[in-house]
Amino acid sequence: MGLANIFRICGVLYILIMLVLVSVHLFVEWYDTDATDEHINVGKTMAVIIGASGIGTGILFLLASFVKDVKTSKILLLGVTASSLLLLISFVFNETVLNGSPPIPFWIIIGLTFVLSLYGRFRVNKI
């Protein structure tokens, strides 16, 4: 597996997870029955904003797969690693401090992205 494939996999995973996030918040009525319309609208707005940011990040990861220099690709993988690590830290913070975190598939996909980016950064030396 080359660096370009790692970028492609990470980009697709980010896009998929963010599309799921947006679709769940917009189309599934999972909000608490005591939530007001204002709370629901704020939740949907935040989901769209975060989802759009994540989809944009995934697209950037996909575009990074076209870089043909190993050294530059490894520097770009540092961004994938940092992005995934920060998401995992936010998941842990939400779980421990706020007593709520994303579903298990989110943990698995972002963890897989983190592990893949670390693997690519330290073990892969080809595009």
Structure token pair of residue 60:
């950037």
- The per-residue pLDDT for range 1-50, each reduced to its tens digit, is 799 999 999 999 999 998 888 888 777 776 677 778 888 888 888 888 98
- Do the Cβ atoms of 52 and 19 come closer than 8 Å? no
- The per-residue pLDDT for range 41-81, each reduced to its tens digit, is 888 888 889 889 989 999 999 999 999 999 999 999 999 99
pTM of the prediction? Answer: 0.86
List alpha helices for the chain, DSSP H. Answer: 3-27, 37-64, 70-96, 104-123
Which residue reads 């599934």 in tokens? Answer: 28
